[in-house]
Structure formats: C-alpha cells, structure tokens
Chains A and B, each alone.
Chain A
Amino acid sequence: MRVVLAALAAVLVVTGCSAPEPVAQEPRSAPDVLPNGYVSPAVHSPPVAPCPDPGRSLNPAGLTRAQMPTLNRIRNEDKRLIVGLSQTAPLFSRRDLTTGEHTGFEVDVVRRIAQELFGEPLSTSDPRLRLVTMPTGSRLFALDTPKNRAVRERRPELREVPIVDLVIADVSITCERVQTYGLRYSAPYLTANTGLMVRRGDEGVRSPDDLGGREVCSGAQTTNSDQMIEISDRQRAEGKPAVIPVSVSDTSECLMLLQRGLVDAIYTDVLILEGFRQQDPTAVLLDYRSPTAGEAGIAISDEDPDLVRFVNGVLDRMRADGSLAALHTRWFGSVPNREPIPASRYVDP
C-alpha cells in the first residue's frame, strides 16, 4: 500500500512540475493581392491567320471631294471629331484626374488632325474635339465597324463603350486586330522595340537570359507577352533556368507589380517603359532591345476610308514639315536608341 501511495505521489509531483505546453500557433503569412487578370505563367495568344501587311494604308492622294461622306458628317452634321485614347499612358496620353486635361504625343497628333479637319487651331476646351477615355481592354470596340456592331448585338454590355471616329492609343498594327474588329489602320506613326525594365539593384541583368526563375510582366495577349513565352520555352529547351512570363490585363499594372516586388521585370514597348521610368526613379530601363520592332497606327472603322485617307494626309504633312519628328523628340527624346518615325506605306498609288 505504501508503495502504491508513494508512486501516486511521485506521479502527481512530476505532473505538477512539468511546464505547460505552449499552444502551437498556426503558421500564417501576408496574403498576396494581385490584380484581376493576373496570369502566371502567361498563356500564348491564339494563332492568327496571316494577312497582307496591315500597316499598308490608304493613300491620301485618293481622297476626292466627291467621296468624303465621313468627313462631311464630322465637319457639317456632327460638327465634332470624337477620339478615343488612353488616360494612363505617360508620354502617349495621360489625363489629369482633377482637371480632365489630356497631354502627350498622341494628344498633340490628334489636335493637329482636328485642326486640319476644321480648318483652324482648336483650343483645349473647343467642343469640336472630344477626347474620350476608353474602357480598359475594350477600346477597339468603340469603332463603328460591321464586326463590332455584330459583337455589340451579342454582348449588350459593350453598348456602354462610346462610339468614336478614331482610336489613337498606341494601338499595335496586327492582323489579329484587323480580323477581330474589322478596323483599318492609318499609316504607322510610331515604331518601338521591346525593352526590359528592372528595379534598381538589378542592373546586373542584361537580357531575359539573366532572369531565369524570375517573373517578367507583360500585357496579356500582346506580342510582348507571346515573345516572352517563346523566350521562356527556348531557355527551357536549352536546359537553362527559364523566366516565368506573367501577364496582366493592362500593361500599366506591371509597374505597380514591379514596385510592390510581385514581379522582377517588365517586358514591353520601350516607349511605354520610358513612361514608367519617369514615374519611378527606382525603376531601371535596360539597354536590351528586342530584335524586332512593332508599329503603332491610328485605328479607324473600315467603313470610313475617306477619314483614313485624310488622317494619312495629315500624318504625311507632319512628316514633311518636321512637326511629327519634333513631337517625337519632345515626348520621347529621353529614350536611348529609339527607333525613327516610320515611313508611310500605301496599298494604292
């Protein structure tokens, strides 16, 4: 009996002296907050049937007084030119959110077009030039083309996209857009290579090959994103560490992701990257340039050939009098090794 009592006492003493077990804390970490449309790894855009050079536009020489229905409508009936552009692309077109005033290379180009259309310089508040901000990702639905009208019938939500006469928003000239929207491009007014941007401290990076295993951001379904996917595939095939292509629905979100440390680099048009660099002094635009360059054109409905010819005429006159080059230097002069303004190409003599 004594033995039992002694054992019991020993157990109680040991139990009483043992330290209480700490409550195990659930391991937790800060949640990642990513924009809608963020895809990692990015997905290649669907293949597009080849088409004749979509950058070959309509010759302004073909514009005659008898065939100017759209120009007559704009000048005499509507008495206004409605232009869709971006509000978040520094150097191209940005808007002051408080005053609503637009500034940028494309804004200056469109002001010249409006000036020649109405025959006199227009003040910034002149109602004859209406600058309209396009919903992100849907700007080309704003053109009144047969294909867009059919899509608007199927997707009623697109009816809230305003109808405009032309869209000038660094629209890359591609066959895919011609086929999807039924639009026609002006002659190209801008050429840009693709460049690479990293954060300060990453200057050791020279090209995508130095970014193996790291995330590189581009706009979804763009040629830049497709190129980065191809670079990643090539690196993998060569047995090198591959970059991780990431895409977002709006390229301007890449800068936010870079600043927040959620991506390691941005791969897009070098002129856009220069706009990013001016917004963030800690972002570094590298010397790397893609071997191929893309062109931008003004998008117009394919039902408005007279407007296309008129716009091409204005661009040609701007090329001839040096004003396009002057604007190019004014807005993009800080970009090293920038491509020159492209020459116009026409399908008709």
Chain B
Amino acid sequence: MVIGRARSAAGVGNRRGWAAARAGALRWFERTERRLVAASAVLAGVAVLLGVLGEVAVRERGALLDDAVARRGASTAAALDVYRALADADATSLNAVVVEAYRVGDERKRYREDLFDATDALRATASLAPEESSARRVRKLLDHLPEYSRLVEAGWGNSALNQPVGTSYLGQASSLAREVLLGEAQELHHEQATALSNAQLAAGRHPWEVYAVGAVLLVLLVLAQIYLARRTRRQLNRGLLLSTALVLAALITLGVSVNLAAGHAADSVDELDGVIAPLAKARNLARIADGDEVRILVFPKVGDVGRLRDGLDALDREITAARTGGGNQQRVDKAATALVSWRTAVAPLLGNQNPPLTYPEMSGLVIGTAQAAHAQRFDEALTDAITWHTADAATSTAAAKGSLADTDLVFAVCVVLALVSLGWGMWPRIREYY
C-alpha cells in the first residue's frame, strides 16, 4: 500500500513535469521571430538530408554501373570462356584419338590451348568475383583440372599404342568434364550473369526515399511561404520561392537522369538475357553435341544418340529464342544456316539405322571434313553474334553510366543554392522581429 502510494505520487510528479515543459515550449513559440528561426532550422535540416540522400543515391547507382562495366561484365565473359573452353576440350580430347594421323597434332594442341584458356579464364573470374559462392566453384574446378588433364594425357598415350585401356581413361575424363566441370562452369556463369543483370537493374531503380524527402521539403517550403505571407502581408518571399524552384530542379534532374539510366540499363539487361544468354547456351550445347558425336564413335553407351538428338533440337530452340529476343538478324541467320547444314550432315547418325552404319561411315559423319566444317561454322557464327551483342550491351551499360554523369554535382549545387536562398529569404524576416 505504501509502495502504491509512492508510485502514484511519482506519476503525478512526472505528468506535472511534462505539462510544465510543454507550457514552456509553447510560451517560447509565442514569439514570431522564434517560430521563424525554428522553421528555418527545420527547412535547412530537411534540405541537408535531401542533399545527403541524393548524393548517396546517385553515387550508389554510379558505382553499380561502374562495377557492371568494369567487373561484372568481365567476370561474366570470363565464366562463359571457362565453359566454352572446357566443352571444347571435351570434344577435342576425343577427336585426337579418332582423326587421321596428320590431324592428331592439331587436335592435341587445340585441347591444350583449351585447358590453358579455361585456367586463364578461371584466374580472371577468381580475381573479379571473389564472393564465397563463386570462389568455391572456381576452387572446385581448379581442384579437378589437373586430374582431368592427367586422364586425357594417359588416354592419348595408351590409345597411341592401340591399348584399349586408353578408351577407359578418355571415357573417365569425358564423364568428369560433363558431370563435374561443365556443371560447375555453368553455375559459375549463371551466377555472374545474374549478378550483372541485378547490378544494372538496381542502378536503374528510382531513389524513392530521396523523392519522399524532397516532397516533404517542398511541402514545408510552401507552408513556410503561406505563413510568411500571412504574418508579413507580403505576397511572396523571393528567397523561399527560389529555394523551392531549386529543390524542384534537383529532384527533376535526379528523376530524369535515373530514368534515362534505367532505360539504358534495361536495354543492356534485355540484350544479356534475351539474346546473349540463349546464344551462349547454344554455343555451349554445340560443343557438347560435338563431344557426343565422338563419344558415340569411341565408347558408345545407350542414350548417347538420344542425347545428341535432343542437344541438336535444343540448339534450334536457343537460336529461335535469340531471334525473338531481338538478336541481330543477319548474325543469327548465319548461325541458323550453319546449324541446318550441320544437322543435315549428321542426320544418318540420329536415326535408328538398319542395318547399322559401318565404322568408316560413322567416323566419316562424326569427324569428316563436312561435319567438322559445319560445326566449326556454327561455332564461329555464334561467337561473332555473342561478341557483337556483348559489345552492344556494354555500350548500353556505359550509356546508363553516362546518363548519371554529373548528376551528383548538379544535385549538390541545386541543394546548396536552395539552402542559400532559404537563408536569403528567411533572414531579413527574422531580423525584422528582433
């Protein structure tokens, strides 16, 4: 009971204290000059907040686009090179044991160059994309590459001596390439491509928090204008008017710049996702199909022919997707024509032939000059299209970055001038009352 009474007494004391403080504050605000000082302080504070938020927003977007141009684009390209080099290595490692003797050296050289390219691209990816997930994939690929190389070299050595165990080594190497290396490389590329698209989309996102603070500042400026008009019987305060115009100009500049950047970034993302991604996938699938053909010859397994048939069908779909995604018609058509020729050349391999093809017939289809030429032409056409569209997407990204150029400076100048105008408008009125 005693404690309850004490608590009740303390509560009454607190309420009295608050009431006294509130009454004191109201008394302080009864004088006009003090109200004007407080209003000026609030307006200046909100203006400073607007300036800081605007600067941060513009610089963040600029940094994202810089990162997209300088780092993500390069890491995506490097990850794509990893996949392509490994898929090509898989095909050439097998080609090297079935082609005529005079072509063996070229195939082996190409394989070793592929491995070098893959390692080089992995090194580039590791330095450009040090995030944990990418680093883990790079590490896994680097862990397996020495063993992959050993298996292929042992396969070649034994096959050169006509020892069938060479086929076991090459089969094991091919399985390693397809089930581990290419899977990791594909995920690595997917991660980098997604990060690149996300960075550009984030850069094109409007800074709504800046607009909100800007809107609040504009409302406060208008209210201040109305208050001054009533108190001083002057129609307009020129300082406040100019300040309002400058804040508005800052916000419009920011909005227009971000809008332009968003448009360019969206163009780049559309090109990356709608054209480059299907073309890159087609190029990778083509390398896999090339390897499938040789596998059918070297160590056939049930499902190989079906996989090759499905792979070639998938190539058709990816080319169509690139075309509908806005791919350069001339370049995509060139790839499509090469694909048709390739499919026609290897058609007998895909049917259930009865009687089955002889070895010379099969090897002619798989490693013959006509087939090799069509597959090579298809690869070249896709590389040309990918290179062209990648450059175009990079141009769009650079344009997005260009759209934000000097926006931070213009925004800062506008806000600083708005602050000066605010002082210019408010100070004479405050002084009048003192």
Contact = CB atoms under 8 A, between A and B. Distances in A.
Nearest to A278: B163
Contacts of A30: 143, 146-147
Nearest to B100: A98
A21 interface: no
A159 B305 CA distance: 10
A88 to B, nearest CB: 4
Interface size class, chain B: 35 or more
A259 interface: yes
Given A132-B356, A135-B300, A33 B147 contact: yes
A155 to B, nearest CB: 9
A158 B303 CA distance: 7
Given A82-B356, A279-B164, A160 B172 contact: no
A136 B301 contact: yes
A134 B302 CA distance: 9
Contacts of B148: 33
Contact of B98 (A82, A98, A137): A98
A312 B325 CA distance: 65
How many A residues touch the partner, as a band? 35 or more
B162 A33 contact: no
Contacts of B363: 100
Which of B97, B100, B179, B358: most chain A CB closer than 10 A? B358
Contacts of B353: 162
A157 B303 contact: yes
A33 B176 contact: yes
A35 interface: yes
A149 to B, nearest CB: 13
B359 A100 contact: yes
Interface string A307-346: 0000000000000000000000000000000000000000
Most chain B CB within 10 A, of A88, A158, A259, is at: A88
Contacts of B298: 97
Interface stretch (A177-185, A187-195, A202-210, A249-257): A249-257
Interface string B346-358: 0000001111101
A130 interface: yes
B238 interface: no
A161 interface: yes
A87 B164 contact: yes
Nearest to B351: A160
Contact of B300 (A136, A255, A276): A136
A164 B358 CA distance: 13
Given A90-B164, A100-B360, A279-B158, A138 B302 contact: yes
Nearest to A249: B301
A160 B176 contact: no
B300 A88 contact: no
Interface string A148-183: 000000001111111110000000000000000000
B165 interface: yes
Given A158-B302, A161-B302, A98 B101 contact: yes
Interface in B128-180: 143-144, 146-148, 151, 154, 158-159, 162-165, 167-169, 171-172, 175-176, 179
A206 B433 CA distance: 114
B225 to A, nearest CB: 58
Given A30-B143, A160-B352, A256-B168, A135 B159 contact: no
B101 A279 contact: no
Interface string A117-147: 0000000000100111111111001000000
Contacts of B299: 88, 136
A136 B298 CA distance: 11
A218 to B, nearest CB: 15
A176 to B, nearest CB: 19
Nearest to A162: B356
A95 to B, nearest CB: 7
Contacts of A259: 154, 165
Contact of A255 (B100, B147, B168, B305): B168
Contacts of B158: 279
B167 A160 contact: no
A35 B175 contact: yes
A112 interface: no
A108 B256 CA distance: 83
A31 B356 contact: no
B323 to A, nearest CB: 31
A80 interface: yes
A135 B304 contact: yes
B183 interface: no
A97 B159 contact: yes
A266 to B, nearest CB: 12
B105 interface: no
A345 B424 CA distance: 119
Interface in A252-295: 252-253, 255-256, 259, 275-276, 279-280
A130 B355 contact: yes
Contacts of B45: none
A96 interface: yes
B168 A250 contact: yes
A36 B175 CA distance: 8
A31 B147 contact: yes
A261 to B, nearest CB: 12
A133 B297 CA distance: 9
A101 B7 CA distance: 105
Nearest to A89: B164
Q: Rank and list the top 5 A-B pairs by shortest CB-CB distance, nearest first.
A: A100-B359, A162-B356, A88-B164, A160-B305, A256-B168
Given A127-B358, A256-B165, A280-B163, 17 more contacts: A30-B146, A30-B147, A80-B355, A94-B162, A97-B97, A97-B98, A98-B98, A135-B302, A136-B299, A138-B301, A141-B302, A156-B306, A158-B302, A162-B355, A163-B356, A256-B169, A279-B165
Interface of B: 97-101, 143-144, 146-148, 151, 154, 158-159, 162-165, 167-169, 171-172, 175-176, 179, 297-306, 352-356, 358-360, 363
Interface of A: 28, 30-31, 33, 35-36, 78, 80, 82, 87-90, 94-98, 100, 127, 130-138, 141, 156-164, 250, 252-253, 255-256, 259, 275-276, 279-280
11 contacts: A33-B144, A36-B175, A130-B358, A133-B300, A138-B301, A138-B302, A162-B356, A164-B356, A252-B165, A256-B165, A279-B164
